[in-house]
Each structure stands twice: as structure tokens, then as C-alpha cells.
Structure 1
């Protein structure tokens, strides 16, 4: 049986610089390298943003002196925090509490008409738990005076109120010290609470850890 003689195997031609496929491949590699370089460069880029010099409480007037400038890497959240290029109007206030040294979200600064809660003073004579600090939440119980020079059963008037400020002051008689708290009260709660205080109600404060969750 005669065997078929095959011709020499075809040799692969060397790629030419004019070959469009080679040029496309080179461009794809260069684009990939450029993308990686840009990604790494952006990952290490820092920007100046504002951090709170001290705790910012709701209702506090805001100026540039309320902040310090820090350099941070924000990545995808760039633009959500306040930066030195932000301007402040005369009625700028904190509408959300910002702890000391934390970055200041843009949403935490607004105007007085944006406040849904306002600070009200609460004075208590009982010692407070160490957990009651600015930014924590408390239940405010009120006992109104009765007709027998005593007090009625306490009523929970301000559940889960946020503490905006704390201050230890001497009592009016100079015989001791009491704690003055500024708690944030809604407009709906304010008339009843102020009425109770005006009627010399006894006020008690209880730490409420669940309200901040």
C-alpha cells in the first residue's frame, strides 16, 4: 500500500509590528497597567477634612473654630464629610451629635429650622451612673406635687432622651451640689415637660442603654 507523502509543516510567521492584533494586545496591556497604577495611587491619596475639636452637641452654633483639620484616606466616601472648603452661614448649628476628634459628616451640620429636638435643662440631686455622658440616652421621670405637700407617682415623660451636656453646679441653698443635664426634647414633648418643671415637679433620670441602639 503506497504511503501518502505529506509536505513540510507550515511554519508560523513572525508577528509584524504592523499586525493590528499585536497593536491591540499592547494597548490592552498598557491600559491594564495604567488602571492598576491609578488604583494604587488613589488608595494612598489623603484629603483634608474636618474633625470635631470638642464634642458637638445638637443645637450648638458652628463656626470654622469648631473643627480641626486632619488628613485622611476616604476612598469611596469622599464627599460625605465636611472639608475646609465648606462655608458656614451665620445660623449653622449641629443637628446631630459628633464626638470629640471624630470626622464631621456633612449631614450633622444644618440650620436651626432643621432641628427636630431642642435642648432643655434638667436638674437632679441623685448621683448619676458613670454611663450617663454626653451622647448617651436617659429616661426622664417626673413626679408632680400633690395636695398633701408630697409628690404623685412618677411618670415617664421623656423616654430615651439624648444627653447634650452635663454640668455640676452648687444648689441654690449652697448646701450641696446637683447635676444639671441638657437633654434633647421634641417640640411635641416640650410643653408638658416645661409645665412640669414650672410646677416644681421632682425630676429623676435613669440611664437607658437600649435607646442608643
Structure 2
């Protein structure tokens, strides 16, 4: 029978003064703090406005037109107006804000900020199905030559943006004339108003490639 020489060494109980134990504890605390900070940053949300329905250019902004949405914007937070700041007095939409879109601060302004103004054009020929606010159209006019004749049509507005579209109905329920609100800059406004006042024929043609 074999006898072991001496006793096996015993494991020493770690001491609080052991630097390895202190380093391990510090690593655990640092890891825990990092996880907590990450979770808090991911849960940092801000309430901003989103459009309840399409908001046309030039429309006054009110709380009835918007809903509050909690979102995590991160570095983009400054680009949106928080709900707790509300809207400034006499605020309008300076561009079309589609339904459901978060409203950026750049789309909130005053009437003086608009460089284009909506003008209503009554169009007899129906526009293609699916045409909506935000689409681009070319506006052609045929000036009246005399009582019964008109001049050749010419392009007056190219790639004008539709601000609003209202399709009328005839007495039999079919589609009739369409009221198209197009955005017109000040330079082209006199020519368009002159054509309208002289009962020129107006044709609006969808320009699907203009916005791309």
C-alpha cells in the first residue's frame, strides 16, 4: 500500500485584499452599468406630431390635424418639434405633409414663408386614377382668339405640384369637373391669372417623372 507523503495543499479562501477579486468585481460593475445605460438610451422616447390626414401646403396647423406619437429619434431629435412645445401662432404647412408622416420643424412656418401659392384650376378632362396631392403636373393654356376659337395650346407651368385635388360629381353620379389646386410661384402668377380672367382653356397633364 502506497502512502502519500505529506498533506495536499489546501485552497486559500479569497481575501478582499486580493487584487484579482477587486478587478473582477470592477469589471462586473462596469458591465452592469453599461447594460443599464444602453437600455435607458433605447427607451429614450420623445413625443412629436404626425399628420392625422394629408395636410396641404398653406393649411393652418391645429391640434385637430395631428396626433402625438412617441418615437426614439436619436440624433434626429432636433429636426422635429416636440409635442410639449406646441405650434407657434399662425403656423401653416410650408409643404404637403402626407398622412402618418412625422411633421418636421422645416415644414412648419408662416404664410410669408411660402414661395408658392395655391391656385385653383377647373379641369374637365379627368386626371389618371390615383393622382393625388404631391404629384406633379404640366399646365397648358389655350388663349381665346375670338368668340369661338382658341389659339394653339402652350405650356405655361411645368412640373407644378398639386396641393389639393377635388373631384366633382355629375347629377348622374359620374365624375364631372376636377378642381386642381396647383402651387404657383410669383413669377408665373400674372400669366396664369391673365389666362384665367380671359377664359382660356386649361389642360392639366400628369408629369410622373418630374418628382424623381
**1:134, distance to aligned residue in structure 2 (A):** 1.1
Cα 1:23–1:131 change in 2 (3 A) is same
Residue deviations 1:151-207 (CA, integer Å, cap 9, x gap): 111111111111111112368xxxx82000101111111111111111111111111
Could you tell me how far apart the structure 2 residues matched to 1:159 and 1:32 are?
Answer: 60
State the partner residue of 1:184: 183
- Match runs of 1:46-85 below 5 Å: 46-85=45-84
Number of aligned pairs?
A: 195
**1:118, distance to aligned residue in structure 2 (A):** 0.7
Cα 1:56–1:16 change in 2 (3 A) is same
Alignment of 1:34 onto 2:2? no
Q: Is 154-163 or 143-152 further displaced after alignment?
A: 143-152
RMSD: 2.5
Cα 1:39–1:148 change in 2 (3 A) is same
Residue deviations 1:37-65 (CA, integer Å, cap 9, x gap): 21232223332221111111110011222
**1:90, distance to aligned residue in structure 2 (A):** 3.0
Question: Scaled by the length of structure 1, what TM-score is found?
Answer: 0.80
State the partner residue of 1:96: 95
- Match runs of 1:47-196 below 5 Å: 47-147=46-146, 149-169=148-168, 177-196=176-195
Cα 1:137–1:17 change in 2 (3 A) is farther
**1:148, distance to aligned residue in structure 2 (A):** 6.7
Which blocks of at least 5 consecutive residues in structure 1 are unaligned? 1-13
Q: Is 84-93 or 95-104 further displaced after alignment?
A: 84-93
State the partner residue of 1:211: 210
Could you tell me how far apart the structure 2 residues matched to 1:25 and 1:187 are?
Answer: 71
**1:130, distance to aligned residue in structure 2 (A):** 1.4
Whether contact under 8 Å (2:16, 2:22) holds in the other structure is: no
Could you tell me how far apart the structure 1 residues matched to 2:108 and 2:115 are?
Answer: 13
Could you tell me how far apart the structure 2 residues matched to 1:161 and 1:63 are?
Answer: 27
Cα 1:89–1:68 change in 2 (3 A) is same
